[in-house]
Amino acid sequence: MLNRPKALRPGDTLGLIAPSGGLKDPGQVAEAAAMLGRLGFQSKPGAGCRLAHGYLAGADAARAADLNAMFADPAVAGIVCLKGGYGAMRILDAVDYGLAARNPKVLVGYSDITALHLALNQRSGLPTFHGPMGLSGPLLEGDPASTASWVAALTGGAPGRLENPPGCPPLRALAGGVARGALAGGNLSVIAATLGTPYELDARGRLLFFEDIDERPYRVDRMLTQLRLAGKFRDCAGIVLGDWNNCVPDPGERSLDLEEVFREVLRPAGKPILAGLQAGHCRPMLTFPLGVEAVLDADAGTLELVESALA
């Protein structure tokens, strides 16, 4: 059962949290708040946003407490992660999933936030949103297509076709067919790291989405092969590939390219595969829900949400 959050409305207060890496400068919290203000929202930074603990934004307990506090606060309508980096996996066993299920709210982020997407989708029945964060360039710098997609997804959430912004190449099929299932996934590196834990990706009957950045093709191969050996492509309904920013071989390195990796590792599963969704570490960047049903039609080159993510 889905615990759909309410659609955001102008004037709503959005909680700002840093569940992963630390900020370069505590003043960046004000930058994110100002950006949300330009979009018509109030903001409430978590107590731990300005903390630092090595490469983390504060100790694990502080980061988990911020997330739980935002779900508990009736004045907070939605939760915006400030940035990724690393660290969300370290707090998965400290998240109050029952609290999140009882108080469903919009939560948006990507990259390392994939750990929270997986856990909240599976343990709280909460649809979450893969999209730019409070300190992501597409929002801070006002990229029109990224901003429009972000606002539309979080304030409307109606079913409809996920299409790349004008000027971007259309989705393309790597393997034909039609499949239906709930969208699940995010950053490939994080997904692979959850295998063998209680929070690993449940691929059964789902449409799996993957993206990544700065990973050479052999590393992408290794992580996809790990998922293949874990049965994830056997169990899934279909696969959607997003952006692969700077996932290229080193100069002069003997290598397969990503298309060859995808053909050799993914296509033998016999599932429909669409590539080229403008989502991940890219600009412009789409915002879309994870945890809701969609139809992937590789023959037509379309991906369509068939249920609302928002109440």
Which positions are annotated as active-site residues?
Answer: 111, 211, 281
**Token match 């370290």: residue?**
90
Q: What is the DSSP string of 115-167?
A: HHHHHHHHHH---EEES--TT-HHHHTT-HHHHHHHHHHHHT---EE--PPTT
Alpha-carbon gap, residue 251 to 86, rounded angstroms: 27
Alpha-carbon gap, residue 253 to 272, rounded angstroms: 31
Strand ordering across the sheet containing 13-17: 42-45, 13-17, 78-81, 106-109, 128-130, 288-290
* 193 alpha carbon, distance to own chain's centre: 15
Degrees, nearest 5: CA angle 197-290-167? 125
**Token match 């759909």: residue?**
4
Asked if 161 and 277 touch (Cβ cutoff 8 Å), the reply is no
Asked if 291 and 300 touch (Cβ cutoff 8 Å), the reply is no
Asked if 180 and 306 touch (Cβ cutoff 8 Å), the reply is yes
